[in-house]
């Protein structure tokens, strides 16, 4: 799993939008958002550039953590 920092993620709508965007890339992706730390752990077949682009398209700038 890759962990991403998503500073603008602040509510359930945000997590839902991000999860939908990632699932559109890979229906079998595992998406684990954490609102408290504003991070998302993602395990998907899509590459990192595609994942970042999908989140950006939804309005969320993300950066890989660690």
DSSP string, 9-64: --SHHHHHHHHHHHHHH-TT-EEEEETTTTEEEEE-SS-HHHHHHHHHHTT---EE
For 3-55, the pLDDT digits (tens) are 999 999 999 999 999 999 999 999 999 999 999 999 999 999 999 999 999 99
Looking only at the bridges linking them, the beta strands covering 63-65 and 2-5 are: antiparallel
pTM equals 0.93
Is pLDDT at 2 greater than 90 in this prediction? Answer: yes
Longest dimension (CA), the chain: 26
Nearest-angstrom CA–CA distance, 15 and 28: 17
Q: Domain residue spans in the chain?
A: 2-65
pLDDT score at 66: 79
Classify domain 2-65 by CATH number.
Answer: 3.30.70.100
Q: Which residues pair with 51 in a beta bridge?
A: none
Confidence of residue 56 (pLDDT cuts 50, 70, 90): very high
């Amino acid at each position: 799993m890759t962990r991403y920092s998503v500073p603008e993620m602040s509510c359930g709508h945000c997590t839902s939008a991000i999860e939908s965007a990632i699932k559109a890339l890979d229906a079998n992706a595992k998406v684990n958002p954490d609102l408290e730390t504003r991070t998302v752990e993602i395990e998907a077949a899509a590459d990192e550039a595609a994942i970042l682009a999908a989140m950006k398209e939804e309005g969320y700038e993300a950066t890989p953590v660690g």
